[in-house]
Chains A and B, each alone.
Chain A
Amino acid sequence: MIDQHLPILQIIIPMIAAPICMFLRHHFWTWLLAVVVSWVCLPISIALLIQVLEHGVIVYKLGGWAAPVGIEYRIDTLNAFILIIVAAIGAIVMPYARVSVDKEVPRDRAYLFYAMMLLCLTGLLGITITGDAFNLFVFLEISSLSSYVLISMGRDPRGLTAAYRYLILGTLGATFYIIGVGLMYMMTGSLNIADLATLMPAIADTRTIQAALAFLTVGLCLKLALFPLHMWLPNAYAFAPSAVTVFLASTATKVSVYALIRVVFTIFAGVNILEILPVRDLLMGLAIAGMFAGSAVAIYQSNIKRMLAYSSVAQLGYMILGVSMANISGVTAGIVHLFNHAVTKGGMFMAMGCIMYVIGSVKLEDMAGLGKRMPVTMAAFLAGGFSLIGVPLTVGFISKWYLIQGALENGWWPVAVLIVLSSLLAVIYIWRVVEVAYFQAPPEGKEAVTEAPMSMIIPMLVLIGASYYFGIDATTTLDVAGQAAEVLIGGAK
Chain B
Amino acid sequence: MTVTSDFPGLLIYWVVIVLMMIGFYIVISQNNMVKKIVGLNVFQVSVFLLYITMGKVKGGTAPILADGFEVYSNPLPHVLILTAIVVGVATTSLGLALVVRIMDSYGTIEDDEIQALEDDT
Contacts and interface: CB of A to CB of B under 8 A. Distances in A.
In the complex, A touching B (Cβ < 8 A) = yes
Interface of A: 134, 137-138, 141, 145, 148-149, 152, 157-158, 160-161, 163-164, 167-168, 171-172, 174-175, 178-179, 182, 185-186
**A-B residue pairs, 5 tightest by C-beta:** A157-B105, A141-B87, A164-B98, A186-B54, A160-B102
Contact of B47 (A152, A160, A179): A179
Contacts of A137: 84
Contacts of B22: none
A179 B50 contact: yes
27 contacts: A138-B87, A141-B90, A145-B90, A145-B91, A145-B94, A148-B98, A152-B98, A152-B101, A157-B106, A158-B121, A160-B101, A160-B105, A161-B114, A161-B118, A163-B98, A164-B95, A164-B98, A164-B102, A167-B91, A167-B94, A168-B37, A172-B27, A175-B47, A178-B47, A182-B47, A182-B54, A186-B54
Given A152-B98, A161-B102, A172-B43, A182 B27 contact: no
B50 A168 contact: no
A305 to B, nearest CB: 15
Contacts of B40: 168, 171-172
Contact of A149 (B50, B94, B106): B94
Contacts of A171: 40, 44, 91
Interface of B: 24, 27, 33, 36-37, 40, 43-44, 47, 50-51, 54, 77, 80, 83-84, 87, 90-91, 94-95, 98-99, 101-102, 105-106, 114, 118, 121
Nearest to B74: A189
Contacts of B118: 158, 161
Contacts of B37: 168
Contacts of A175: 43-44, 47
Contact of A138 (B33, B43, B51, B83): B83
A134 B47 CA distance: 14
Nearest to B98: A164
A167 B47 contact: no
B6 to A, nearest CB: 14
Given A158-B118, A172-B40, A179-B47, A167 B98 contact: yes
Given A138-B83, A161-B114, A168 B95 contact: yes
A164 B47 contact: no
Contacts of B36: 168
Given A138-B83, A145-B91, A164-B95, A182 B106 contact: no
A268 B29 CA distance: 34
A160 B98 contact: yes
Contacts of B105: 157, 160
B50 A182 contact: yes
A160 B36 CA distance: 15
Given A160-B102, A161-B114, A178 B94 contact: no
B44 to A, nearest CB: 6
B71 to A, nearest CB: 16
A175 B41 CA distance: 11
Contacts of A182: 47, 50-51, 54
Contacts of A158: 118, 121
Contacts of B47: 175, 178-179, 182
Given A160-B101, A172-B40, A182-B50, 20 more contacts: A138-B83, A138-B87, A141-B91, A145-B91, A152-B101, A157-B102, A157-B105, A160-B102, A164-B33, A164-B95, A164-B99, A167-B91, A168-B37, A168-B40, A171-B91, A175-B44, A175-B47, A179-B47, A182-B54, A185-B54
Nearest to B20: A179
A137 B101 CA distance: 28
B51 to A, nearest CB: 5
